[in-house]
Chains A and B, each alone.
Chain A
């Protein structure tokens, strides 16, 4: 198993202090890596959202993506740093786009939302959950549970979008557009095209590093 140096060091330290077995130390290394990388991605994404002046939209995009990635899965990058680059860039950009679209009027936001909810429900029903070789979903029962959770989340997001549509909150229109755009992004990441994009990003950034 290959993990980053910091997570191995921290897990080794905690393991020595508490006398864990080698197997438990590996689990500890894994969970430290997952928590730290995800936390870093969230903090830097929100910071870029603040810098671009779209913090509420970025937060809405992040929450929607976290909800769906947890149950529906999707394409992955082979490196934590390339993944961070994609994550930190994509969500504030989606929020910027959502902010722009919300200025085009309620009609446009409605068409975008209906389209995104339709695409989202179709991809979730057909493709979710999409696992990765590093974390395969072995149990068919777990696979079925994750699909049901993904569909339930789609229903929940539909209700939230409807509530936002009726809301008079100043950010409601922008957040409605941000949720719709994130749904499109998350759905895209479930498809073969999304996987191709991630492997393309991997190749570009790898080549640049080698040069």
Chain B
């Protein structure tokens, strides 16, 4: 059970980091508030 939960967390984090790199390529998002983009994503 612990292994499954651990894999779930790793999957969630990997998906979110992938989404971050994909979305960083856009000019902005739908809403008119833009949080500060981390330096690592600006490159």
Contacts and interface: CB of A to CB of B under 8 A. Distances in A.
Contacts of A24: 17
Contact of B16 (A32, A129, A134, A198): A32
24 contacts: A1-B38, A3-B35, A3-B36, A20-B13, A27-B40, A30-B36, A34-B29, A37-B35, A41-B30, A62-B30, A66-B30, A70-B28, A70-B29, A70-B30, A74-B27, A74-B28, A74-B32, A76-B28, A82-B33, A131-B27, A131-B28, A135-B37, A136-B37, A142-B25
Chain A, interface residues (CB within 8 Å), range = 35 or more
A131 B29 CA distance: 11
Contacts of B41: 27, 30
A79 B35 CA distance: 9
A18 B28 contact: no
Given A26-B38, A71-B26, A83 B32 contact: yes
A14 B15 CA distance: 12
A129 B41 CA distance: 18
A65 interface: yes
A41 B41 CA distance: 24
Interface of B: 6, 9-10, 12-13, 16-17, 19-20, 23-38, 40-43
Contacts of A34: 23, 29, 35
A72 interface: yes
Given A73-B27, A130-B27, A142-B25, A30 B35 contact: yes
Given A41-B31, A84-B33, 9 more contacts: A28-B20, A38-B31, A66-B30, A75-B32, A132-B34, A135-B27, A135-B28, A135-B36, A198-B32
Contact of A87 (B9, B10, B23, B32): B32
Given A24-B17, A69-B27, A14 B38 contact: no
A14 B9 contact: yes
A183 interface: no
Interface string A20-47: 1001101110111111011001100000
Contacts of B33: 37, 76-80, 82-84
Nearest to A35: B19
A83 B31 contact: yes
Contacts of A84: 31, 33
Interface string A49-81: 000000000000010011001111111111110
